[in-house]
Structure 1
Amino acid sequence: MNYTMTRNRFLADTVATAGPQQILTMLYDRLVLDINRAELALRKGERAQASDLLGHAQEIVGSLSSTLDVEVWDGGKSLMELYMYLLRELVGASIDGDADRVAACASIVIPLRDAWHEAAATVAASAAPVIPTQRPGSFFGESTMGGELGVG
């Protein structure tokens, strides 16, 4: 098995075994990575690469917004508005090839990522260990993506 196949298998296994908090923080980590790489690509004049990265960032924001339950906490509606703003800015930055606009998106996303990492760590530290048979919805194919962070 070569390095790429091994790496892809490891990543797939990591995602498959991750809980909702880890998936959320992984998405934010990748969002920041895509945005930072897109900004750099635009500054180098590599618009095609930047467009691909910004497209992936848009997919991530779309996933985050589609799994956000705005009724779970008071900040849900504001976070949804922020996601919609980010989508507009990422699309506009891609169309215009505007690295500064991408950097502005990073300045919004990085603190959000850090806050979600902190929240996930707090939830993990305060939660009792759960064995798989105790998770709600673990039987009959029901989703287990809800949870403490209000996504899913």
Structure 2
Amino acid sequence: MNANVRQTYLGASVSTASPQRLLVMLYQRLVLDLQRGRDAQEAGQREEANGHLLHAQDIVMELRISLRTDAWSGAPALASLYDWMYTQLVLANTRCDAAMTEHVLALAEQLCDTWRQAALQAAG
């Protein structure tokens, strides 16, 4: 697919997505970045791992910043979880520790699945 066509398609997908779908898309990208970062760490490709993990850190920070902690009773606990994930990603990145990245990845996959199910319930 042509790069311009792909960018146009992705832009349209994001601009027309519901807030629930946007959240799921963000989590899906987080999982992808963590998988790629872990794989690069395991292959000894520190620079490549760094790029993926920095992007993952940005996503976690965005999730944390956009979370309204007064919106529901579980929000403060989720905020704490995001803080922990961010700290672990910084450490995993600076130490080039694939096991730490894997641990955050497992949690991100669970959260992604949970939000995906919630979005499906909200839509249906």
Report the Cα offset of residue 121 of structure 1. Answer: 0.5
Report the Cα offset of residue 77 of structure 1. Answer: 0.4
**Structure 2 segments unaligned to the other structure (5+ residues):** none
Q: Please, what TM-score do these two structures have when normalized by structure 2?
A: 0.98
Give the alignment's Cα RMSD to 1 decimal: 0.8
Residues 136-147 of structure 1 mapped to structure 2, 5 A cutoff: none
- Output the CA distance in 2 between the equivalents of 1:48 and 1:13: 31
- Output the CA distance in 2 between the equivalents of 1:42 and 1:72: 37
Report the Cα offset of residue 70 of structure 1. Answer: 1.1
- Output the CA distance in 1 between the equivalents of 2:48 and 2:11: 24
Q: Give the aligned partner of residue 28 of structure 2.
A: 29
- Output the CA distance in 1 between the equivalents of 2:11 and 2:56: 19
2-11 vs 51-60, which moves further: 2-11
**Which runs of at least 4 in structure 1 moved beyond 2 Å after TM superposition?**
none
- Output the CA distance in 1 between the equivalents of 2:13 and 2:84: 30
Say if 2:105 is the partner of 1:86: no
Report the Cα offset of residue 47 of structure 1. Answer: 0.6
- Output the CA distance in 2 between the equivalents of 1:49 and 1:94: 11
Report the Cα offset of residue 93 of structure 1. Answer: 0.5
- Output the CA distance in 2 between the equivalents of 1:51 and 1:41: 9
SS of aligned partner of 2:54: helix
Report the Cα offset of residue 73 of structure 1. Answer: 1.1
Report the Cα offset of residue 82 of structure 1. Answer: 0.3
Relative to its length, the structure with more helix (as a share) is 2
Q: Give the aligned partner of residue 46 of structure 2.
A: 47
- Output the CA distance in 2 between the equivalents of 1:96 and 1:24: 29
- Output the CA distance in 2 between the equivalents of 1:93 and 1:4: 32
Q: Give the aligned partner of residue 104 of structure 1.
A: 103
| 2:30 maps to amino acid | L
Q: Give the aligned partner of residue 136 of structure 1.
A: none
Deviation string for 1:70-120 (max 9, x for gaps)? Answer: 111111000000000000000111100000000000111111000000001
| 1:6 maps to amino acid | V
How many correspondences in the alignment?
124
Answer with 1 or 2: which has the greater Rg: 1
Report the Cα offset of residue 26 of structure 1. Answer: 0.2
| 1:44 maps to amino acid | A
- Output the CA distance in 2 between the equivalents of 1:9 and 1:93: 34
